[in-house]
Amino acid sequence: MTLCNNRNIIITGAGAGLGRAYALALVAEGAAVVVNDIRRDAAEAVVAEITAAGGRAIASSDDITSMTGAAAIVAAGVEAFGEVHGVVNNAGVVRDRMFASMSEDEWDMVIKVHLKGHFCIANTLVKRWRDQVKAGNKVSGRIINTSSGAGLQGNIGQSNYSAAKGGIAALTLVQAAELGRYGITANALAPAARTGMTEGPFGEMMKPPADGSFDHYAPENVAPLVVWLCSEASAGCSGRVFEVEGGRLSIANGWKTGTITDKKARWNPAELTDVVAGLIAEAPPAQKVYGT
């Protein structure tokens, strides 16, 4: 039996890049998939590739940033396959600009697609799964979110994207804490791979090796973890942010309370220069913001 046999998964932004790689890998492990992409032709091309190989898939181009669109995506999956067991929130956009030059529209677009896009489908599915549990049924739901190294440590020229991806990491922690009682896990990825969004700034660095050796930045390298997270085998894993690059896999360590200095009284502002300097000296150094 394959790892995701009888599992039905929604994948957003699945018309190319990482999303396509996830769809193909999930189907290879027995899943049926809803291939969602704002580009209908791209979604249909991936579905055609899957069905030609004997897999099960349907295309969707509904809007992930509205509850109406999310409901339509979930309904399509339920109608086609009988149930939906997980979502891979993969869709995203970039509008790179230095913070001082960024427009309101550039900020709003990135926050909407990433943060609200992650909310709508997951919220729709969680309500469905919660109702099933309340009716006495067992649920094994999976939410796989997409953060980024930019969200974990920041990236010059991507304040909007970094803020959205950092928010997604925090969202994942809260989802995991709240939803475990229903049999739902929530985890996030911070992948480093060749996609449409990396072609500009990282195109040369991430291009496939000419000698046919291991393609470190191939999106297919991230897909095995996604398959595992979508499966029932991952039931004991929730609230984690995985960094994946090539054959490298790690779990990110988040913010933690550092050394505490307690005066047991109110601080005088003039005292804090030396106090804060001491706290910084004792704190482990943070990873540098990308681009610095």
Q: Where are the beta strands (DSSP E) in 119-209?
A: 141-146, 184-192
Query: Does residue 63 contact residue 124 with C-beta atoms inside 8 Å?
Result: no
Q: What is the DSSP track for 86-125?
A: EEE--------B-GGG--HHHHHHHHIIIIIHHHHHHHHH
Query: Does residue 230 contact residue 86 with C-beta atoms inside 8 Å?
Result: yes
DSSP character for 8? E
* 129/84 Cα distance (integer angstroms): 9
Strands 32-36 and 86-88: unpaired
* 32/232 Cα distance (integer angstroms): 15
| Token reading at 248 | 């490298």
Q: Which residues are catalytic?
A: 148, 161, 165
DSSP character for 155? B
State the greatest distance between any 2 C-alpha atoms of the chain, in Å, as a whole number.
71
